[in-house]
């Protein structure tokens, strides 16, 4: 688990902190406290390069500078986990008062939700959280340098962990097989039309699942069982958004959802066309899952992709009630679920 505040904090001079200015050892100062961000900088929502600019430096004013990026209380909550000590008394400095007169770290409450050092599933099953408290806490992102543990049972735990490369490895042969079977019913030109229709339709399916299935937050019933289901389906992703092994959907769950969609498609399309449409939808899903992983852990010189990354991470770190589009914000604009105010 990441370092946390404790009563035996060490003291460091500013000169000593300044020596930790590389990716191998990245320290910063914030409000006369010292933070070791070595294990975090690659997961920084603004990208590693942004954080590397301030390696070994005091970031107090930079975090308050809206022209760089507006940091919410959530950002300070994540930062707090990496505190390793304080600046020595003779090296401490006085900072300008924060905008609202209260230091941002004072707004960070102590952890009262789940113990990230123990398996999460049984903690959720034994919890007695109110709906209001659960939704509030599960949408306050936390960071761990390693994947969290869901189950004490190693077999069950393995089923919850999915590397990004498993998705194409699992689904591409299935898509190829479905297309091959469909070619026995329809000519290539008809199959191509159905495939493109399915591929384009995925963007609406993606938006709908994210908004109405993953984020049925307001309609979540009171009770532990409903919270466990919500947590397993999507809540944990908001609680631990940078967990690299839980950014793509496990094949067990995606296959189950895929069979439901297949059943619906069979009621609408004829043989051959249903094969083409399902293949297009499945291809859209694979691209979506890979894109989703990249939005959390990738970097690109492309302005469009960087904008898409900022858009999605805003959904995680600022407003989970908007920005449901992953690969595009098109449907957010159509249905009015785009962010109300522009990003700084």
Using the predicted structure, report yes or no on whether residue 70 has a pLDDT greater than 80.
no
Domains and CATH numbers, the chain: 10-107 (3.10.120.10), 120-335 (no CATH)
Structure tokens at 44: 């920084």
The model's pLDDT over 111-147, given as tens digits with 9 standing for 90+, comes to: 679 999 999 999 999 999 999 999 999 998 888 878 9
Give the confidence band of 1 by pLDDT, cuts at 50, 70, 90: very low
Spatial separation of the C-alpha atoms in residues 202 and 322, rounded to whole Å? 19
Strand partners, 83: 35
Beta-sheet strands, E only, within 88-230: none
Q: What is the DSSP string of 87-102?
A: E-GGG----PPPTTSS
The stretch 160-182 carries a mean pLDDT of: 96
The stretch 55-83 carries a mean pLDDT of: 84
The model's pLDDT over 261-272, given as tens digits with 9 standing for 90+, comes to: 999 999 999 999
For the ranges 60-69, 218-227, 291-300, the lowest mean pLDDT is seen at 60-69
The stretch 194-207 carries a mean pLDDT of: 96
Spatial separation of the C-alpha atoms in residues 276 and 266, rounded to whole Å? 12
Using the predicted structure, report yes or no on whether residue 5 has a pLDDT greater than 60.
no
Percent with pLDDT over 70 in the chain: 94
20 assigned ligand-binding residue: no
H-helix or E-strand containing 258? helix 251-266
238 assigned ligand-binding residue: yes
Spatial separation of the C-alpha atoms in residues 274 and 179, rounded to whole Å? 10
316 assigned ligand-binding residue: yes
The model's pLDDT over 20-34, given as tens digits with 9 standing for 90+, comes to: 999 899 999 999 999
234 assigned ligand-binding residue: yes
- What's the predicted TM-score (pTM) here? 0.82
312 assigned ligand-binding residue: yes
Residue the block writes with tokens 């407003």: 319
Spatial separation of the C-alpha atoms in residues 234 and 236, rounded to whole Å? 6
Radius of gyration of the chain (CA): 23
Spatial separation of the C-alpha atoms in residues 112 and 22, rounded to whole Å? 34
Q: In the prediction, which pLDDT does 102 show?
A: 80
41 assigned ligand-binding residue: no
Spatial separation of the C-alpha atoms in residues 253 and 334, rounded to whole Å? 29
Give the confidence band of 4 by pLDDT, cuts at 50, 70, 90: very low
The model's pLDDT over 280-320, given as tens digits with 9 standing for 90+, comes to: 999 999 999 999 999 998 877 888 888 898 899 889 988 99
Q: How many CB atoms lie within 10 A of CB 246?
A: 19
The stretch 41-52 carries a mean pLDDT of: 79
Rounded to the nearest 5 degrees, what angle is found at the Cα of 92, between the Cα atoms of 91 and 98? 150
Phi-psi region of 324 (alpha: psi -120 to 50; beta: other; left: phi over 0): alpha
Closest CA to 8 of 117, 86, 89: 86
230 assigned ligand-binding residue: no
215 assigned ligand-binding residue: yes
């Amino acid at each position: 688990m990441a370092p946390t505040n404790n009563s035996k904090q060490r003291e460091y001079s500013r000169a000593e902190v300044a020596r930790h200015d590389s990716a191998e050892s990245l320290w910063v100062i914030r409000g006369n406290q010292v933070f070791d961000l070595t294990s975090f900088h690659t997961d920084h929502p603004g990208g590693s390069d942004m954080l590397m600019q301030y390696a070994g430096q005091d970031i107090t004013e930079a975090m308050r500078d809206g022209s760089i990026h507006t940091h919410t209380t959530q950002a300070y909550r994540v930062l707090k986990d990496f505190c390793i000590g304080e600046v020595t008394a003779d090296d401490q400095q006085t900072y300008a008062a924060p905008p609202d007169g209260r230091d941002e770290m004072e707004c960070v409450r102590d952890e009262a939700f789940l113990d990230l050092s123990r398996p999460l599933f049984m903690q959720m099953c034994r919890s007695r959280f109110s709906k209001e408290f659960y939704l509030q806490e599960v949408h306050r992102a936390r960071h761990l340098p390693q994947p969290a543990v869901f189950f004490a049972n190693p077999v069950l735990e393995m089923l919850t962990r999915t590397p990004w490369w498993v998705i194409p490895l699992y689904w591409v042969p299935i898509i190829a097989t479905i297309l091959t079977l469909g070619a026995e019913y329809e000519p290539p030109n008809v199959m191509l039309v159905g495939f493109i229709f399915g591929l384009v339709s995925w963007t609406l399916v993606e938006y709908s699942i994210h908004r109405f299935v993953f984020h049925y937050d307001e309609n979540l019933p009171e009770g532990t069982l409903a919270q466990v289901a919500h947590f397993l389906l999507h809540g944990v992703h908001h609680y631990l958004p940078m967990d690299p092994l839980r950014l793509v959907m496990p094949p067990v769950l995606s296959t189950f959802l895929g069979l439901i969609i297949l059943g619906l498609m069979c009621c609408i399309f004829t043989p051959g066309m249903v094969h083409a449409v399902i293949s297009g939808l499945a291809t859209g899903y694979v691209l979506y899952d890979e894109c989703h992983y990249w939005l959390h852990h990738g970097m690109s010189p492309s302005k469009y992709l960087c904008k898409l990354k900022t858009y999605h991470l805003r959904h995680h770190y600022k407003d989970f009630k908007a920005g449901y589009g992953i690969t595009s914000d098109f449907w957010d604009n159509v249905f009015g679920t785009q962010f109300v105010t522009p990003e700084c």
